[in-house]
Structure 1
Amino acid sequence: MEKTRILTRLLCAVGLCTLISAVSALESSPILLIPGFGGSQLDEKNGNYDYCNTGGNYKRVWYDLFLWRTRICSKDLQLRYDKSSNTYQNKTGIEVRVPGFGETKAVEYSAKLAVFSLGKYMRNLVQHFAKCGYKRGVSIRAAPYDWRLAADELDRTGYFKEVKGLIEEMRKANGQRVTIVAHSMGGLVSHYFLTGYSGINKSWKKKHIKAWITLGTPWGGAVETIQTVLASKRTASDWWKVLVPYGRTFESTPWLLPKPSLFGDKVLVETNSRKYTANDYEKLFDRINYDDGFAMFKGTQQINSDKYPNVPTYCYYGKNLKTPERLTYKFGIFHILLYKLFKSDSIKNIKPKITHGDGDGTVNIDSLRVCNTEWSGRKEFKSKEFDSADHKGILSDTAVLEDIAKIVGARDCGSMEQLEQLLEALN
């Protein structure tokens, strides 16, 4: 046995471990990654006369290392909403593009320049499969998108046509059907692609899709989204501060709010004078002067259905982590007077008391489990809960990565243990 270990190390030293991994990858399903909210890099071309003018070139706006440029120029990410057509446009003089379509580097790090773990997103997941012989840009690729938009606007801009073309390219190049791995909002986006995009049908899916894996998808929205809508730069979480107040203009923001069909009359926000449920958004948005908020919310509610995608589906998510469930804003006499006299948006100036429930730290457990409620009787459906796998951490959770490897048919390749077993059998 000791001789086997020594020989194994010698063979790995000359690259045979990598060779075995590459051969294993040839038999595996290629992987297409679809990121969540904020998981794609964004570039801007600014022709306006201000600090953020890009001189006719594209520059990174989401996001740069340490958020220096992002903090100043995130105002250029705000959208203009046309209530009559329920459509969204960039600000006048601004163009925004998503770099790196098809490349994993576009989702491995959210920042253009990454140092150590700063800005790390899907890096660990990609690295894991690279060790199993997957090749970036060939057998593992990514479909980043403009996460300011919901699926209907992405469809209108041609995103899903690009996704379809990328999947067909991967199918042809690898000789195997593709597995879609989608994180967070990416699960909603990919669900629309599989069920609502008119450019594909059942026979196309059968030919090109091996499986669809969702990780931490907020099927019914998340209470944390309300907190971001109500926040100011002073009260927002660190990463959201750079998007306040412009994040209110994104179509994806109301799309990710708690759905009335799931949360019903459950109190989500409480102030001194009243309580708000998911059925009270119109009154809540009026209270905070979110003028188009309710119209935007109504416009997103018909985007996703509960339609089953008719491909093997795996719904994975974390649980048993403290997750915002209820926000309580208690005002002092000063805040009450400001609101009574000037209709001042007092909520945004106060950090709420947060009542927590179960979930993955970001998405509430009832929302994560909607896939079970809707599809549990399906033959090719499987869901799995991972204890203490948080919303972002699920992308590097060992148990999750091992499960994905089994689904795509990737063996535990590249390990010395596997080579040891092979050599031992030959002795």
Structure 2
Amino acid sequence: MKDRRTTRHCLAIRHGQSHFLNHQSFPPPKKNSATSPHFHSEPSASARGSHFKCGRKSGCPARKQVQQSDADPSKLEITYFDAHTCDNPPPSSSQVVPDPRIISSGTQRNTVQLVRWIANLPIVLYVSTSGVAIRQTRRIQGHLSTPLMRLLLALLLLVLPPPLREYFSASHLPKDAGVGSELHPVVLVPGLLCSDLEARLTEAYKPSAPRCGAMKGNGWFGLWKNASDLAANDYVDCFLEQMRLVYDPAINDYRNLPGVETRVPNFGSARGFHCKDPLHPKQCVDYVREGLERVGYRDGDTLFGAPYDWRYAPPVPGQQSQVYSRYFRQLKSLVETASKKHHKKVIIFGHSYGGMVVLDFVRNTPLAWRNEYIKHLILVAPVLSLGILIQAQIIAFGPNMKFVGATQSSLRTMWRSFETGIVDLPSPKVFGHMPLVITEQRNYSAYDMEDFLVAIGFGDSVEPFRRRMVPKMRYFKVPMVPVTCINGVGIRTAKQLVYWKSDYDRSPEIAYGDGDGTVNLISMLTFDKEMRRQPAQKKQFKSVKIHGAEHCGLITEEWAVKRVVQEFLEANRISS
């Protein structure tokens, strides 16, 4: 997992490691004296027993006292004071800092003091050495795996603000420190291109080349599963053809080519999808899944996946969509099954395009059903119908899918057939009349997207854009369930495209603004505003902006993934 942060950006609460905690037994001590690899006797001993100081480094404050038990002279009591500083320095104010990437407010001082206080509470352990019972008083540091410590840590987490709570996230907790059976089930919905697609060819399929019909009558095969196999089997052209969709104006919906049937395999499994780019195989929430597994989630028990056919756009209520009608029924059944199994509501997670899928799924369910089954929505870098400018560049030039092994023009032809190709174009509600695409002849604003589609040679998309996408742009209804939306900011993001000679076969010059590299900041802020407009939803909405986090970096960078996993833990703690 990548982590490009420097040390000064890390949120860290470092405990001084006590050398003696590595030892579970000690040599039999003489009366009122004891030996240890890291301690030697001080010149004087009190009536209460012998005192020993650290023998590793002068100035280390660690001490221990050995004395006979008043209650039972056959037993020795060993008490440890302070922590070793000879390897790791004790926590200081300069080490306990909020992550500057996480935008939050409020002071940390009292919380930091509470962390230090709990970390220095004494606990009592009993060990037996050669038949001699020894009582050892030690600090809490290093014993977070005991039941008492888990309880204290849980109480501490309730009062910590989010930046400090990240310290106690998955990588800092012991493997058994999760809440086990108390976890709310989670359904993961990945971003674009992640879900596998299988195809079956019938006699109605008319291939453009004989080799493309070779799979007729052979049942289901992986159409979008392993991109490397396409070139190896000389199947790239066939792939591009069989992936295409057709818009049917009679029913105002998209469908496959005649004779091509498709399905999404592995529905229900959190491991049922992956990135097809061999150079980046773990860009489809793999690290988020692994982080959840470290805190106790298990695939098929409390953790599920809901892959979908990403060529289609989820409909707003009232729109026709055969594909999503079936998918929403599957997802609804999955949520109900997971909830009934554990007698708990379900947390649904969506990244990027999956965020749109999740939001539109919930909007298409009855409010009573949401109240019964939905615990929380966690949307990470959601790509919503409010629009993003980069979508205009993709529809003009084609997607960045070089790993498929196809030419850019052939990829563009395939992509333009997808409903996904025209979704997320800039919305007038967000971008207004600002020039977004600039050419020598004219400029195009969000109000001119139909003209822009004609200009790039894609006039066939004007009708489905007008009939299916414009209603999505104009529709906004809050889900009326708890929602956390996490976005990256502070990344250069396209805000204007310059095709001066109207040559859309070339990459444009780009003027940059703020965002996550894909989603424009203005779209994020508009979504936040709309979510807070309804008072009841405002009380159930949390927006997190993380400076320096890229669109995909939110689910691949180690520090960002920790922050995302923390939101799952927080959603589990919130009472509903």
Bucket of the pairwise TM-score, normalised by the shorter protein = 0.7 to 0.9
2:514–2:520 contact (8 Å) kept in structure 1: yes
1:382 is matched with which residue? Answer: 542
Structure with bigger RCO (C-alpha 8 Å, 6+ apart) = 1
2:324 paired with 1:144: no
RMSD: 2.8
Listed as ranges, the matches of 1:308-347 within 5 Å are: 308-331=478-501, 347=503
Structure 1 spans left out of the alignment, 5+ residues: 332-345, 411-427
What residue identity is the alignment partner of 1:33? L
2:524 is matched with which residue? Answer: 368
1:4, distance to aligned residue in structure 2 (A): 4.0
Report the count of equivalent residues.
Answer: 383
Provide closer, same or farther for how the CA distance between residues 67 and 366 of structure 1 changes in structure 2, counting only shifts above 3 A: farther
Provide closer, same or farther for how the CA distance between residues 229 and 115 of structure 1 changes in structure 2, counting only shifts above 3 A: closer
2:423 paired with 1:255: yes
What residue identity is the alignment partner of 1:82? D
1:291 is matched with which residue? Answer: 459
Partner of residue 176 from structure 2, selected from 20, 36, 55: 20
Provide closer, same or farther for how the CA distance between residues 19 and 266 of structure 1 changes in structure 2, counting only shifts above 3 A: closer
What residue identity is the alignment partner of 2:297? Y
Structure 2 CA distance for aligned equivalents of residues 247 and 38 of structure 1: 12
1:165 is matched with which residue? Answer: 333
Provide closer, same or farther for how the CA distance between residues 273 and 364 of structure 1 changes in structure 2, counting only shifts above 3 A: same
What residue identity is the alignment partner of 2:417? T
2:571 paired with 1:405: no
1:45–1:96 contact (8 Å) kept in structure 2: yes
1:212, distance to aligned residue in structure 2 (A): 0.6
Provide closer, same or farther for how the CA distance between residues 120 and 19 of structure 1 changes in structure 2, counting only shifts above 3 A: closer
Structure 1 CA distance for aligned equivalents of residues 564 and 472 of structure 2: 30
1:407, distance to aligned residue in structure 2 (A): 2.4
Provide closer, same or farther for how the CA distance between residues 115 and 356 of structure 1 changes in structure 2, counting only shifts above 3 A: closer
2:251 is matched with which residue? Answer: 85
Provide closer, same or farther for how the CA distance between residues 166 and 18 of structure 1 changes in structure 2, counting only shifts above 3 A: farther
2:469 paired with 1:300: yes
What residue identity is the alignment partner of 1:101? F
1:184 is matched with which residue? Answer: 352
* Higher Rg of the two aligned structures: 2
For 1:248-273, what per-residue CA distance to the aligned partner results, in whole angstroms no more than 9, with x for missing partners? 11112222111122111111111111
For 1:391-418, what per-residue CA distance to the aligned partner results, in whole angstroms no more than 9, with x for missing partners? 11111323432432332338xxxxxxxx
Higher-helix-fraction structure:
1
1:104, distance to aligned residue in structure 2 (A): 1.2
What residue identity is the alignment partner of 1:282? E
1:413 is matched with which residue? Answer: none
What TM-score do the two structures reach when normalised by structure 1? 0.82
Partner of residue 204 from structure 1, selected from 348, 369, 384: 369
2:69 is matched with which residue? Answer: none
Structure 2 CA distance for aligned equivalents of residues 230 and 34 of structure 1: 28
Provide closer, same or farther for how the CA distance between residues 156 and 349 of structure 1 changes in structure 2, counting only shifts above 3 A: closer
1:75 is matched with which residue? Answer: 241
Counterpart secondary structure, 1:391? coil
1:330, distance to aligned residue in structure 2 (A): 2.4
What residue identity is the alignment partner of 2:366? N
2:227 paired with 1:59: no
Structure 2 CA distance for aligned equivalents of residues 325 and 212 of structure 1: 29
What TM-score do the two structures reach when normalised by structure 2? 0.62
